[in-house]
Amino acid sequence: AQSVTQLGSHVSVSEGALVLLRCNYSSSVPPYLFWYVQYPNQGLQLLLKYTSAATLVKGINGFEAEFKKSETSFHLTKPSAHMSDAAEYFCAVSDTGTASKLTFGTGTRLQVTL
Amino acid sequence: ETGVTQTPRHLVMGMTNKKSLKCEQHLGHNAMYWYKQSAKKPLELMFVYNFKEQTENNSVPSRFSPECPNSSHLFLHLHTLQPEDSALYLCASSQAGQDTEAFFGQGTRLTVV
């Protein structure tokens, strides 16, 4: 069975500061990992995905994530936060490589302050 | 047209009402999904359709009834709902196969009174 744990339901950073959102996964097979972002009153938008190619994955809006098998982690980072990054972020795992078997974490709400 | 469109965006219904949620995708995908997003809970996959056939039902109560008349349209028929069914219902679509990603609609905010 696969599962995802997102540490910290709320994260607050200052504008220009590093963003670090944590995600740990559990999967019995090599996983496919995803980060989605949800802006207020919107659906989910894919930020980036790991599909067993490069362990450092670059996504949209300056975000990137690194797959670390030894730590079973896929943390999301951005060097410099912008006010427009305020949103909820979801980590998801699939152990079949298909979108039909996504298991999501509970989400982390990112607040960006001046 | 945006990729995945859901209507209505907001719905308030009584426990004895019957209503339907609609989802339409313009991406040429052949798989469609219904998810439920409740406060402080992970997104819950409800139903999966591949090539119009239901391939997954995650123990969803029968008061939720999905319908997929073609690969572009997905409905969720609602009847005799409970207040705890109030949530954001998200539709998604993807191309069936490996290395795929799901594209989500904006959701329908459902309130059961």
Q: What is the pLDDT of residues A34-51, one digit of tens each?
A: 999 999 888 899 999 998
B33 touches chain A (CB under 8 A): yes
Chain pair A-B, CB pairs under 8 angstroms: 62
Contacts of B110 (CB under 8 A, 6+ apart): B11, B12, B13, B21, B78, B81, B85, B86, B87, B88, B89
Question: What mean pLDDT is reported for chain A?
Answer: 92
List strands edge to edge, sheet with B4-7. B4-7, B18-25, B73-79, B64-70
**Residue B1 confidence class, pLDDT cut points 50, 70, 90:** low
Span A12-25, pLDDT tens digits: 999 999 999 999 99
Q: Residue A53: its pLDDT value, please?
A: 77
A49 touches chain B (CB under 8 A): yes
Q: Residue B15: its pLDDT value, please?
A: 92
Distance (Å) from the alpha carbon of B92 to chain A's nearest alpha carbon: 9
Strands (DSSP E) contained in A1-114 are 3-5, 10-14, 19-21, 24-26, 32-38, 44-50, 56-58, 64-68, 73-78, 87-94, 103-104, 108-113
B6, with CB counted inside 10 A (0-12, 13-18, 19+), is buried
| Residues of chain B positioned with their CB less than 8 A from the CB of A9 | 40
